[in-house]
Amino acid sequence: MKVLSVKQPWAWLITNGIKQVENRTWKTNHRGDLLIHACKKWDHIISNDPGEVLHDLTLLAELHGYEDVLNIDTWPKQPNGAIDLSEFKTGGIVGKCRVAACLPPEQNTLEKIGFFSVRDHYAWIIQGAEELEFKPCKGQLGLWDYEYEPKREELLLF
Give the global pTM: 0.84
pLDDT band at 97 (very low <50, low <70, confident <90, very high): very high
So what's the pLDDT on residue 155? 53
- Domain boundaries of the chain, sorted by first residue: 2-155
Closest CA to 104 of 95, 113, 96, 91: 113
User: pLDDT tens-digit profile of 99-109?
Assistant: 999 999 999 98
User: pLDDT tens-digit profile of 5-32?
Assistant: 999 888 998 999 888 999 999 999 999 9
Long-range CB contact pairs, 148-155, < 8 A, 24+: 148/1, 148/35, 148/93
Q: Which CATH class is domain 2-155?
A: mainly beta
Question: Residue 145 pLDDT > 60, yes or no?
Answer: yes
119 within 8 A of 106, measured Cβ to Cβ:
no
So what's the pLDDT on residue 67? 75
pLDDT band at 95 (very low <50, low <70, confident <90, very high): very high
Q: How many CB atoms lie within 10 A of CB 65?
A: 9
